[in-house]
Amino acid sequence: MNFALPRFRPRLVDALKDYDKARLTKDVAAGVTVAVVALPLAMAFAIASGLKPEAGIFTAIIAGFIISALGGSRVQIGGPAGAFIVIVYGIVQQYGVANLIIATAMSGVLLILMGLFRLGTLVRFIPISVVIGFTNGIAVLIGLSQIKDFLGLKIPHMPGDFFGILGALWSHLHTLNPWALGVALVSLAIIVGWQRGAARIPRLGPILPFGDKLSSVPGSIVALVLATAVVGIFNLPVETIGSKFGGIPAALPAFALPSFSWESARFLLMPTITLALLGAIESLLCARVADGMIGDRHDPNQELMAQGLANFVTPFFGGMPATGTIARTVTNVKNGATSPVAGMVHAFTLLAVILIAAPLASSIPLACLAAILMFVAWNMGEWREFTRLRTYRLPYRITLLAVFFLTVVFDLTVAVQFGIFAACLTFIYRISSLSRSEQLTAAEYPALAGHEAKLQAWRLYGALFFGATKLVEALEDHLPPQTLVLDLKNVIYVDSTGAEALENLVATCHKRGVRLIVSGLMNQPLDIARRTGLLGQLEAQAGDLQPDVAAAVEEAVRTFKPEPLE
């Protein structure tokens, strides 16, 4: 079999064909709007991950540009994502920022290799129960991690584990800042209220100036501007980006290599794999959502290579892990984006913001960012799936709830590993239960009449793999006196274990003097029978391989000696 690597062809190349001024206008408008949405989210994701706010902005600029320019989707927007918060925070707390850079770059290499070896479609094989379980678990952890700033608690060091977070919150509850709580509650109310009332704003166009344009402004920006203004005007005792991090630099950082050691890389193997898998899942799920909205089809392998390049480059410029982001991609589509140019404009807009308005970011209250992330966490979770669990089978419920519980209480890596393992076991069990056998009767094949005592004919259905070899073993245990006819026409797949079971059946029949006639071998079962030598064993004896079961039964009956007359 010839294996060809996929060609490196970004979707931008095809999207620029017949590109005109009208499309450029739409892309610029969409890109600027997405940048407005991305700015508070990028800072909030970075802070929640234990990093400085500029790490999120740098990621949105650099990774966002690379993913749009080199990706396999026309409208996907890349940048820091909420799904990474738990993993990144854990890496920073346990290994430090330098090792986060190494882990992110290594995950980028894995993503590039996944794209080169055409593994983009394999991500779709991860069961939806696992995806929903860890997505809801991450949403809970994001919300839990924001309680500190939402309440304005004075916690010098925030633990990274579930029980440690609960303990720290409870032990420092007496440090609650009512001003921070008030800012957070009002910000959350503005965000929720703005989202629900956005559809009614265009009706106020004749009354309010630019009323028809207000609906495109995200509620997070409205809350951010109002909260920052109120805290600054009234000098409220609330922690801000300036008081916590000293502000945001008004320039991109220079390229910097962290100190690298193979000892650190060895311990970072599992976090690296987790970052790569989660990034692949998030980006390709996001691309599929975008496809449904614009009626297009993305190139998953090209998308993975672009994600990998972005994650390999960005950390050396002060960034964090990046992936495709659903909220910003949906905003991009709804605002009329037609090509990856919109995502590139979004990156340039963010760059202009930090070059011009970086000092203003120092006054943003952390309580408002916490409210924004609380809202993101709520929208991120598929909470309705919990109420629908009763409509699903028990294995689905167990897998989803177990992955959710393990994500929240223990670790995302453990949760995904368990979820995939449980899903594989469930799949094996279900497929093996669909594989069955039935004995053929004279009513269906009249040639069997009068020969049932010495001849048996069986038909197998489904897949003959390691989980269903009991079907063949049962035939071995109850062989007829003279001839066994085996119809494999309805067997769609045979693995090496199934082939070995058939070989054992041939050997057992030979040892007991029972003739075995096989019929209906087609496609993959025929191929593996040829490669394992089973086909040669059957062809060596004339008549032991027949095209269909009717011919097999007739061949068996033809060789029977007539019964002696009494």
Domain boundaries, the chain: 23-146+161-357+364-389, 436-558
Place of tokens 């689905």: 396
Pairwise CA distance, residues 49 & 55, whole Å: 10
Of 415, 391, 388, residue with least CA distance to 403: 415
pLDDT of residue 74: 94
* C-alpha dist (Å) from residue 146 to 59, 137, 173, 465: 21, 15, 14, 49
Helix or strand or coil: residue 46?
Answer: helix
* C-alpha dist (Å) from residue 465 to 435, 495, 500, 519, 521: 9, 5, 10, 18, 15
Of 182, 187, 195, 180, residue with least CA distance to 330: 195
pLDDT of residue 276: 93
Q: Are 29 and 336 within 8 A, CB to CB?
A: yes
HSE of 525 in the Cβ direction (CA atoms, 13 Å)? 22
User: Phi and psi at residue 127, in whole multiples of 5°?
Assistant: -60, 150
Class assignment of domain 436-558? Answer: alpha beta
Helix axes 394-409 and 162-171, enclosed angle (nearest 10): 50
**DSSP code of 434?**
H
pLDDT of residue 542: 60
Q: pTM higher than 0.75 for the full model?
A: yes
Each of the 566 residues of the chain gets a pLDDT tens digit; together they read 455 667 889 999 999 988 999 999 999 999 998 998 899 999 999 999 999 999 999 999 999 999 999 999 999 999 999 889 988 998 998 888 999 999 999 999 999 999 999 888 877 777 888 888 988 998 898 899 999 999 999 998 888 788 899 999 999 999 999 999 999 999 999 999 987 776 565 555 455 455 555 666 778 888 999 999 999 999 999 999 999 988 888 888 888 888 777 777 778 888 899 899 889 988 988 898 889 889 898 999 999 999 999 999 999 999 999 999 888 998 899 888 999 999 999 999 999 999 998 888 889 999 999 999 999 889 888 899 998 988 888 888 999 999 999 989 987 778 878 888 888 888 888 888 889 999 999 888 888 888 888 899 999 999 999 999 999 999 998 899 999 999 999 999 999 999 999 999 998 998 998 999 999 998 999 999 999 888 888 777 666 888 889 998 888 888 775 554 44
Pairwise CA distance, residues 344 & 70, whole Å: 10
User: 442 - beta bridge partners?
Assistant: none
pLDDT of residue 566: 47
Helices (H), 318-365: 326-334, 341-357
